[in-house]
Structure 1
Amino acid sequence: MDNLKKYFKNYYVLNDISGILFWDNATNLPAKSIESRSDQMSILAEYIDQELRDLNIIKEINLNKNKDLNDYDKKNLLLMESIVLKENAVDGLLKSQLVKKKLKCEHLWREAREKNDVSIIEKDFNELLNLVHEEASQLSKSLSLNPYDALISNYDRDYNSSKIDKLFEIIKTDIIPQYLNLEKISKPTIFKSDLSKDDIFQHTNLKLKELGFNFDYGRIDQSMHPFCGGANKDVRITTRFEDNILETLSALFHETGHGVYEQNRPTELLYEPIGQARSLSVHESQSLFYENHIFKSKSYFQVFNKIFDGSKDMHQSFIEHYHTVRLNPIRVSADEFSYPIHVFIRYEIEKEIFNNKIQFKDIRHLWNKYYKQYLDIDLPNDTVGVLQDIHWYEGIFGYFPTYAIGAMISSQIKFSCPEYQSFVDNVSEESIYKVTDWLKNNIHQKASLYSSDEMLQNISGESLNSSYFLKHLNNRFIQ
């Protein structure tokens, strides 16, 4: 296995370089430098592609299949074979074209979103979509999956559209009907702070350290769309400053959940497939655990006394803000009850994109239609509509379902974590540490050793069960 591990170390190091360039692209890149960055990332993508196209790696995989491997190496080998199969499924020229078009579309999206003008992005987005259709077609042939499932497998190998349809039945049959019948608030409470951005960063950084984020191996910056990226041992978190400071803090806690998961993966396995995060759904479960079950818990707000005035009235306003169902067109700002509906809408549109090959005009129409049908929201403009998320304009399709699956997993984890109730009863550095240490030992350190369902079976005694998610929502919003 040693030769295979050398190939994969090169592969992951090259991906690390790509991750840092992507972070820089979103945070620091000068406006006129996009063309040169596009060339850099396109050529780098070719090198990454070539790394796992080497015929010797196929020989090594076949050679190791005939060896008497331990269980760990058997799982590692299966993951290696799966990655090589996927990397070789899409031709190098198409990958290069995708990288260039994605970078162009991402920058056009920023302009279109800011100006609320879909005409800026429509033509290039449709061209990107055509490339993604070809990518999905090539993947589907190699993986023996339908095109959309082939794309979903890029982000979660444990779920396909058939399984997701069954999981999302609770959204259609339970959550949407309840949401439409609930009394909803249309205007959120605006929380402001007199502190400067630097002071807010300084205060929150102390809290993020308590949650396990290691600033010796990571940093936090600003970007238009919050994300977690970077490289092994160099995790980059970004957030955006909103008029409502709570949205900034919520995004920070969300991305910190991603960052801590990355930093806690087993050091000795960082450059092996079995040492990677299991899936984006599990990744989202960690970010949503930090955001929903720590930051938005009734007992945690007290730690932000330095940012707000710390009064009981402010605490009550915080609870009402995060524990009330609201009419909100923005997914990332949505309350937990309506959040899965936002994801469900995107999932339904993605199925239309790949089943019926609709393009931008039809996507925009469906977006507005579904927001009215499922969320009872008339969208005022495209900035808060079809332009609100960056994903599709980066060529990322099949990712959105992981947000709702992650929310379901995070709820099951909450009810299974023996340390969580002590944290709720008494918020302290010690109680927070016990929760995060439990997450580290039972989820982060396991990396890709277990499937999502195996991991949940180990900690809760059963595979993914959506009833935990419904129980959490009912406890927080209904009772």
Structure 2
Amino acid sequence: MEKNIISFREMIKEKKMIDSMLALLQWDLETQTPKGGYKLLSEMIGELSLRSYNLTTSEKFLKMIEVLKEKENELDEITKKEIEQLEEEILKIKVIPADEYKAYSELTAKAQGIWEVAREKNDFESFAPVLEEIFNFNKKFIQYRKVEGDIYSTILNDYEKGMNVEKLDLFFAELKKEIVPLLKEIKSRDRKFSEKLNFKVDKREQKRFSEEILKYIGFDLERGVLSESAHPFTLTVDKSDVRLTTRYFEELPFSSVYSTIHEGGHGIYEQNIGDEIKDTLLADGASMGIHESQSRFYENVIGRSREFWYGFLNKSKCKYEALENLTLDEIYKGINEVSPSFIRVEADELTYSLHIMIRYEIEKGILSGEYLIKDLPEIWNGKMKEYLGVVPEKDSEGVLQDVHWSCGLIGYFPSYALGNVYSIQILRAMKKEINIEGALERGELKDIKKWLIEKIHKFGKLKSPKELMVLITGEELNPDYYIEYLKEKYREIYD
């Protein structure tokens, strides 16, 4: 048995090594590859993806899992969970022909470059064919699995176990019922708070400020780095090598502040996976929804609070001069102004999940055959008008704004909304044990970070989202707290 465990660990190490190399290529692709280099890099990603596929579906690997399962009672908890996760992954990919798996990996790598150029040129037509190909691959892969029921529910469950269209339809219906009328009421008051925050800051100063904020909230820059990309993201090579990106607009300095804090939340999670699972397949977030709960917790619960800015401005060594002329209330209301925008990552906290609802409805429509790819700009703009009351003037501000579809992340967007829900449920539990406001005012975020590490981060994938929420809050996912939080917060801000 000991020999089998050693062999299993060697195979897992090889798989993780390939995954780490893929991560580095992905980092390069999204941060510094010249446009002329996309083709070769895409082929390299395809080749490495095929190596990962071949290893995971090999007779030797499958036999090893079978042998270990026969003596499951002799396995430790971590190895049992790894095998459970591997079985799920193998069921998904072994039915896909190897050449199609490689082709899809190359396609999604190449598509990111096509998307970036299309967005720059405001040219959806040039991106539409590759986007259609990506959606068609996803449909085909689900059909290979011969899963009964709705295609989209199967995809959603891959990102968040137990999630399906029925549950999300109920959540978004409740969100629409409660938040859209509140948004209309706020808009009718026509109160502007953010004008004093629209000062100009050059990119170099914004970068210094972003790094200061990362250190302040607890991201370790000795084991991580902050770079720049067209769309902010977090990528993990290992818990000692966690890479974040943000983006800078000189006229909108708070854009980089919140994309940095958001990605910092992801990064803090990755840096604090438990050492006992760091070399296993469990060294990752419990789910995409739980991962987003951490980024949204840091971005909104912490970063958009009065107390955070009171503590930060009193303690930080690097700050924008313009902030010294503003009151704390002016900063707080400015960063929380409700102003329906075209861009999701710039959205205020109240309207953010409405952006996700739009993408959810579009993905559902494409996969069901209700919507055609060529009609997406028109469909997108119609939903923006219906839910947010604004219509993008160009596709780069609309259907082309997000990188996710070009990466093949169909079904990922609902994770952001679920992350919002999880984050508020987690907040309620944390408040019972920690004086969060006091800690933020004193500029002492260590207790908050420690609580999150002990309750969530250290477990990685060892516990499921459901197990984590029951352990932390005593109940499963409950969207009511999130909706009530939004209503309470924004009614107070807008009197």
Question: Which range moved further: 261-270 or 154-163?
Answer: 154-163
Match of 1:377 in 2: 390
Match of 2:165 in 1: 161
Match of 1:109 in 2: 115
Shift of 1:155: 2.2
Contact conserved, 2:263 with 2:295, CA < 8 A, in 1? yes
Q: Deviations over 1:53-104 (max 9, x none)?
A: 1112222222222211344443332122112222323222112211222223
Match of 1:236 in 2: 243
Name the aligned partner's letter for residue 359 of structure 2. Answer: R
Contact conserved, 1:129 with 1:359, CA < 8 A, in 2? no
Shift of 1:52: 0.2
Match of 2:216 in 1: 210
Shift of 1:410: 0.5
State yes or no: 1:11 paired with 2:15. Answer: yes
Task: Summarize the Cα distance change of 1:166–1:74 in structure 2 as closer, same or farther, 3 Å threshold.
Answer: farther
Contact conserved, 1:329 with 1:385, CA < 8 A, in 2? yes
Task: Summarize the Cα distance change of 1:85–1:145 in structure 2 as closer, same or farther, 3 Å threshold.
Answer: farther
Matches within 5 A, 1:24-173: 24-67=28-71, 68=73, 69-138=75-144, 140-141=145-146, 144=148, 146-173=150-177
Name the aligned partner's letter for residue 114 of structure 2. Answer: L
Identify the match of residue 454 of structure 2 among 441, 446, 456. Answer: 441
Identify the match of residue 307 of structure 2 among 288, 293, 299. Answer: 299
Task: Summarize the Cα distance change of 1:309–1:422 in structure 2 as closer, same or farther, 3 Å threshold.
Answer: farther
Contact conserved, 1:158 with 1:452, CA < 8 A, in 2? no
State yes or no: 1:431 paired with 2:441. Answer: no
Match of 1:359 in 2: 372
Task: Summarize the Cα distance change of 1:418–1:274 in structure 2 as closer, same or farther, 3 Å threshold.
Answer: same
Contact conserved, 2:156 with 2:411, CA < 8 A, in 1? yes
Shift of 1:357: 6.0
Q: Deviations over 1:264-307 (max 9, x none)?
A: 11123123233321111000000001100111111222424721
Shift of 1:435: 0.2
Match of 1:318 in 2: 331
Contact conserved, 1:27 with 1:223, CA < 8 A, in 2? yes
Shift of 1:244: 0.7
Secondary structure of the 1:225 match is coil
Once residues 285 and 148 of structure 2 are traced to their aligned partners in structure 1, the CA distance between those partners, rounded to angstroms, is 24
Matches within 5 A, 1:383-462: 383-418=396-431, 422-427=435-440, 431-462=444-475
Task: Summarize the Cα distance change of 1:453–1:230 in structure 2 as closer, same or farther, 3 Å threshold.
Answer: closer
Question: Which range moved further: 408-417 or 376-385?
Answer: 376-385
Match of 2:233 in 1: 227
Q: Which 5+ residue runs of structure 2 have no aligned equivalent?
A: none
Name the aligned partner's letter for residue 185 of structure 2. Answer: N
Task: Summarize the Cα distance change of 1:307–1:126 in structure 2 as closer, same or farther, 3 Å threshold.
Answer: same
Question: Which range moved further: 437-446 or 350-359?
Answer: 350-359
C-alpha root-mean-square deviation of aligned residues, in Å?
Answer: 2.3
Identify the match of residue 273 of structure 2 among 265, 270, 273. Answer: 265
Contact conserved, 2:78 with 2:277, CA < 8 A, in 1? no
Once residues 29 and 56 of structure 2 are traced to their aligned partners in structure 1, the CA distance between those partners, rounded to angstroms, is 25
Matches within 5 A, 1:251-262: 251-262=259-270
Contact conserved, 1:419 with 1:434, CA < 8 A, in 2? no
Q: Deviations over 1:453-475 (max 9, x none)?
A: 22111111111111221232123
Alignment TM-score, normalising by the size of structure 2:
0.90
Match of 1:309 in 2: 322
Once residues 180 and 10 of structure 2 are traced to their aligned partners in structure 1, the CA distance between those partners, rounded to angstroms, is 49
Contact conserved, 1:419 with 1:438, CA < 8 A, in 2? no
Residue correspondences, number = 477
Shift of 1:314: 4.9
Shift of 1:182: 2.8
Match of 1:334 in 2: 347
Q: Which 5+ residue runs of structure 1 have no aligned equivalent?
A: none
Once residues 427 and 384 of structure 2 are traced to their aligned partners in structure 1, the CA distance between those partners, rounded to angstroms, is 30
Q: Deviations over 1:391-442 (max 9, x none)?
A: 1122220000000000000011111114886332353676311001100111
Match of 1:286 in 2: 294
Name the aligned partner's letter for residue 329 of structure 1. Answer: F
Contact conserved, 1:371 with 1:378, CA < 8 A, in 2? yes
Q: Deviations over 1:208-235 (max 9, x none)?
A: 1232211222100011100001411211
Shift of 1:200: 3.3
Task: Summarize the Cα distance change of 1:166–1:192 in structure 2 as closer, same or farther, 3 Å threshold.
Answer: closer
Contact conserved, 1:329 with 1:384, CA < 8 A, in 2? yes
Contact conserved, 1:419 with 1:431, CA < 8 A, in 2? no
Alignment TM-score, normalising by the size of structure 1:
0.93
Secondary structure of the 1:299 match is helix
